[in-house]
Chains A and B, each alone.
Chain A
Amino acid sequence: MQGPLIDTLARRGVTRRTFLKYCATLASMMALPPTAGRAMAEAMSAARRPSVIWLPFQECTGCTESITRSHSPTIEGMIFDMISLDYQETLMAAAGHQAEEALHTAMKDNAGKYLLIVDGSIPLGQDGAYSCIGGRSNVDILKEAAQGAAAVIAVGSCASFGGIPKANPNPTGAVSVSDLVKDKPIVNIPGCPPIPVVMTGVLAHYLTFGSLPELDDKGRPKSFYGDTIHDRCYRRPFYDQGKFAKTFDDEGARQGWCLFELGCKGPVTHNACATVKWNGGTSWPVESGHGCLGCSEPDFWDGGSFYKALSAPADPLKFAAVAAVVGAGAGVAVSVANRVKKSAAKATHETTTLADLEK
Chain B
Amino acid sequence: MSASLEKGIHALKEVIDAPIASYFESCVHCGLCAEACLFYTETGDPKYTPIHKLEPLRRVYEQEYTLLGRLKKVVGLSKLVTDAELDQWQELVYDSCTMCGRCSLVCPVGNDIVYMVRKFREGMAVSGHVPDGIRSATKRTVELGGPMGLKWPAVANVLKHVQENTGLTVPVDQEGAEYLVLLSSMEIVNYPEYIEAIAKIFHKAGISFTLASDAYEATNAGIQIGSSDLAKVIVSRIVDAAEKLKVKNVLSPECGHAYMAIRWEGPNLVGRPFGFKVVHVLELLDELRQKGVLKMKDKLKDPLILHDPCQIVRRGGVLQAPEPLIQQVAENYIPIADKQKLNWCCGGGGGASAIHTEEAEALRAKAFRIKKRQIEEAGVDTMVTFCANCRITIEEGFDHYEMNTKLLGLTELLAEHLEA
State if A and B touch, Cβ cutoff 8 Å.
yes
Residues of A within 8 A of B (CB): 330, 334, 337-338, 341-342, 345-346, 348-359
Residues of B within 8 A of A (CB): 1-4, 7, 10, 13-14, 16, 64-67, 70, 125-130, 135, 138-139, 142-143, 225, 227-230
Q: Would you call B13 and A352 a contact (CB within 8 A)?
A: no
CB distance from A298 to the nearest CB of B (A): 41
Main secondary structure of the interface of A (DSSP, over half): helix
Known: A355-B1, A358-B3, A359-B1. A330 touches B67 (CB 8 A): yes
Residues of A within 8 A of B125 (CB): 352, 356-357
Known: A352-B227, A354-B139, A357-B225. A341 touches B65 (CB 8 A): yes
CB distance from B236 to the nearest CB of A (A): 13
Known: A334-B66, A341-B65, A359-B128. A354 touches B13 (CB 8 A): no
Residues of A within 8 A of B228 (CB): 352
Q: Would you call A357 and B126 a contact (CB within 8 A)?
A: yes
Q: Would you call B14 and A349 a contact (CB within 8 A)?
A: yes
Q: Would you call A356 and B3 a contact (CB within 8 A)?
A: yes
Out of B3, B16, B64, B229, which one reaches A359, CB within 8 Å?
B3
Residues of A within 8 A of B3 (CB): 356-359
Distance between Cα atoms of A115 and B398 in the complex (Å): 99
Q: Would you call B1 and A341 a contact (CB within 8 A)?
A: no
Main secondary structure of the interface of B (DSSP, over half): helix
Distance between Cα atoms of A359 and B142 in the complex (Å): 18
Q: Would you call B229 and A357 a contact (CB within 8 A)?
A: no
Q: Would you call B64 and A356 a contact (CB within 8 A)?
A: no
Q: Would you call B67 and A357 a contact (CB within 8 A)?
A: no
Distance between Cα atoms of A349 and B70 in the complex (Å): 22
CB distance from B87 to the nearest CB of A (A): 10
Q: Would you call B67 and A334 a contact (CB within 8 A)?
A: yes
Q: Would you call B10 and A357 a contact (CB within 8 A)?
A: no
CB distance from B101 to the nearest CB of A (A): 24
Q: Which residue of A lies closest to B232 (CB)?
A: A351
Interface CB pairs A-B, < 8 A, 30: A334-B66, A334-B70, A338-B64, A342-B13, A342-B14, A342-B16, A346-B14, A349-B10, A352-B125, A352-B126, A352-B227, A352-B228, A352-B229, A354-B142, A354-B143, A354-B230, A355-B2, A356-B2, A356-B227, A357-B3, A357-B128, A357-B135, A357-B138, A357-B139, A357-B227, A358-B2, A358-B3, A358-B128, A359-B1, A359-B4
CB distance from B123 to the nearest CB of A (A): 11
Query: In this complex, which of A337, A355, A356 has the most chain B Cβ atoms within 10 angstroms of its Cβ?
Result: A356
A356-B3, A357-B126 given. 20 additional CB < 8 A pairs?
A334-B70, A338-B64, A338-B65, A341-B13, A345-B10, A345-B13, A352-B125, A352-B227, A352-B228, A354-B142, A355-B2, A356-B2, A356-B7, A356-B125, A356-B126, A357-B135, A357-B227, A358-B2, A358-B3, A359-B1
Residues of A within 8 A of B143 (CB): 354
CB distance from A51 to the nearest CB of B (A): 69
Distance between Cα atoms of A352 and B125 in the complex (Å): 9
Q: Which residue of A lies closest to B225 (CB)?
A: A357
Q: Which residue of B lies closest to A355 (CB)?
A: B2
Residues of A within 8 A of B4 (CB): 359
